[in-house]
Amino acid sequence: MLAPSTPLATSPTLYTAAAPRSAQGEAVLGARHISWLTIAILGAAFTWCFWPTFQGLVYRWIHQPRYSHGFLVPLFAAGVLWARRPKELPRWEPSAWGLPMMVAATLLRFLAVRMDNQPLDGVSLLAMLAGLVLLVGGRRVLGWTWPAIAFIAFMIPLPFFIEMALTYPLQTLVTSISTFALQTIGLPALADGNIITIGQTRLAIVESCSGLGMLMTFFALAVAVALIVKAPRGDRWVIVASAVPIGIFANAIRVTITAWAYHVFGAEGESVRAWIHDLAGWLMMPLALALMWLELKYLGWLFVPVNRHDPVLGLRNVALPNVLSNAQAARLVKTP
């Protein structure tokens, strides 16, 4: 009779060593399922708690044109989150510090409901969302997602007193710029308050012509571009800072074209004036985006990134002129 071979005798040891690996894999898989289940439960609770807030926001987006960009903000926030994703997603390390943030957000929402303050209610929504991310994912996950969470603030309407404080100065500024532009092209334009007079034609710059809605939309786009584009930090700050003057300039161009059309076509060309008015409004945002693209290209030409470990023009790899001494050449190719 043949005796058992050595591999068979040692096989129980092999099976014993493999068992912990399988158990470890099942534990990790179970932890992932628990994490996703936790996110689903907390997400459903978050949606149920803030459902009236979402309804109020959608109502403002539908009935107030200046906030119609709110429908696009969640999509841009998702794009920012995807564009800023790290090569290796951070591990979920739940943090108890999310609970104080959630409690503070709950108190803030209570005050917002009592005061019937929708902007404050929107701030509580952002605070609650950040607290949930910190509670479930930890600091690393919050560090990855906070730009997208902050970007959601663009879908929250401004307080009424801020709207009023911005609308009239924007009307006055746009009136002055448009009047100057009309005078530049040879039209006898005069500004009287927020009314532009060209001969017998009078054009009132009303609140809807202040450009506040377009300015808010373009500012949100500029912030999204600054968060996504691969450019030096200084260039991205310039993009954000230039969003306001670019938006005002684009709106002034729209008002100038509309005033020109009202003067040229007169009362008889009402349909043509309406068509030009609507067309100028539609082209205002593409014009602003084109100006921002040109600004990005100009900044790329103006500030050339330099690798600190390689001197400019590759002086380390080329022969230096004979007019330089050895000491001068050594200082010239020295890495800063």
**pLDDT over 50 at 10, yes or no:** no
Mean pLDDT value across residues 95-100: 89
Sheet holding 201-204, edge to edge: 189-192, 195-198, 201-204
For the chain, give the mean pLDDT: 78
Alpha helices in 50-97 (DSSP H): 51-63, 73-83
Helix, coil or strand: residue 192: strand
Q: Are residues 150 and 191 in the same domain?
A: no
What is the percent of the chain where pLDDT is above 90?
A: 17
Which of 104, 124, 157 is where one domain is finished? 157
DSSP lists the bridge partners of residue 126 as: none
Residue 308 lies in a domain: no
Neighbours of 93 (CB within 10 A): 11
The Cα-based distances of 125 to 64, 88, 217, 335 in angstroms read 21, 28, 21, 50
pLDDT tier, 277 (very low <50, low <70, confident <90, very high otherwise) = confident
Query: What is the SS3 assignment for 26-60?
Result: HHHHHHHHHHHHHHHHHHHHHHHHCHHHHHHHHHH
Q: What pTM, to 2 d.p., does this model score?
A: 0.69
Q: Are residues 122 and 68 in the same domain?
A: yes
Domain that holds residue 84: 33-157
Residue 18 lies in a domain: no
What's the pLDDT tens digit per position in 292-330? 889 888 888 887 666 555 554 444 444 445 544 555 545
Q: Are residues 287 and 195 in the same domain?
A: yes
Q: Are residues 94 and 70 in the same domain?
A: yes
Q: Are residues 132 and 51 in the same domain?
A: yes
> Any idea which of 2-16, 118-132, 266-280 has the lowest mean pLDDT?
2-16
Q: Tell which residue, 258, 242, 241, has the closest CA to residue 175.
A: 258
Q: Are residues 79 and 126 in the same domain?
A: yes
Cα torsion angle, 66, 67, 70, 71, sign: negative
pLDDT tier, 9 (very low <50, low <70, confident <90, very high otherwise) = very low
Neighbours of 259 (CB within 10 A): 25
Residue 175 lies in a domain: yes
Residue 139 lies in a domain: yes
Residue 309 lies in a domain: no
Structurally, how many domains does the chain consist of?
2
Burial call 291-325: b when 16+ CB within 10 Å, e when fewer = bbeebbeebeeeeeeeeeeebeeeeeeeeeeeeee
Q: Are residues 96 and 200 in the same domain?
A: no
Top-confidence residue, 262 or 29: 262
For residue 79, give the amino acid letter. G
Neighbours of 287 (CB within 10 A): 16
Q: Are residues 213 and 188 in the same domain?
A: yes
Q: 268 Cβ partners below 8 Å, 6+ apart? A: none
For residue 230, give the amino acid letter. K
What's the pLDDT tens digit per position in 101-138? 999 999 999 998 888 888 889 899 999 999 999 988 88
CB 174 within 8 A of CB 252: yes
**pLDDT over 90 at 334, yes or no:** no
Q: Are residues 261 and 136 in the same domain?
A: no
Neighbours of 115 (CB within 10 A): 10
Residue 21 lies in a domain: no
Q: Are residues 69 and 169 in the same domain?
A: no
What's the CA gap between 153 and 70, in Å, rounded? 10
Q: Are residues 126 and 109 in the same domain?
A: yes
Which of 130, 157, 184 is where one domain is finished? 157
Which of 157, 181, 197 is where one domain is finished? 157
**pLDDT over 70 at 236, yes or no:** yes
Residue 131 lies in a domain: yes
Residue 124 host element (H or E): helix 118-137
What's the pLDDT tens digit per position in 50-65? 898 899 899 988 988 7
Mean pLDDT value across residues 175-199: 89
Q: 11 Cβ partners below 8 Å, 6+ apart? A: none
Q: Are residues 206 and 284 in the same domain?
A: yes
Residue 26 lies in a domain: no
